[in-house]
Amino acid sequence: MTNQHEVATFAGGCFWCMVTPFDQWDGVISVVSGYTGGKTVNPTYPEVKTGTTGHYEAVQITYDPSKISYQRILELYWQQIDPTDADGQYTDRGSQYRAAIFYHTDKQQQLAEASKKALADSNRFQKEIVTSILPAAIFYPAEDYHQDFYKKSTEKYKSERLKSGRDAFIEQHWK
């Protein structure tokens, strides 16, 4: 029996903080930080950071669906973001930090839309769920120094994550 790997792509603010929630799960093959959804070909971090390229900072997850489902990955995703914030995530502001689910198949689109509706219907949040669900676009891996940043620069990663307010938000809304 051969395993087929699938791909999921998500934007949720700074991509450094979007790697660790997925990287630890059995069945996740890789989590790559990068850029997607914009108009600039082969964008660089300094270009994306300006907010003028149209790209989102995002992660692309390659996974084994026989070990972890797309539905489970969606559940993990929602628990990492503020789905009511249309202008960025936490202290990261601007179009490059917006939250979005980029679907690669019709089934991913259906599951993403159903999960968004379920979250809205749960009344967990008082404001509207505004996270976009968009067709996948070309994904450009970020520069090497961004890959696995939490492993390469542990102290800086921890400091930036703490300052961002992400963990406090997650604790308040998901724990």
What pLDDT digit, counting tens, does each position of 15-49 carry?
A: 999 999 999 999 999 999 999 999 999 999 999 99
pLDDT for the residue 3: 63
What pLDDT digit, counting tens, does each position of 88-131 carry?
A: 999 999 999 999 999 999 999 999 999 999 999 999 999 999 99
pLDDT, the chain, mean: 95
Q: Which of 8, 11, 14, 112 is catalytic?
A: 14
Global pTM value: 0.95
What pLDDT digit, counting tens, does each position of 50-75 carry?
A: 999 999 999 999 999 999 999 999 99
Q: 148: helix, coil or strand?
A: coil
Whether residue 17 lies in the annotated active site: no
* Pick among 3.40.50.2300, 3.10.20.30, 3.30.1060.10, 2.60.40.10: CATH of 6-174: 3.30.1060.10
Strands (E), 46-152: 56-63, 88-89, 92-93, 99-103, 132-135, 139-141
Mean pLDDT of 74-88: 97
pLDDT for the residue 1: 38
Domain ranges of the chain: 6-174
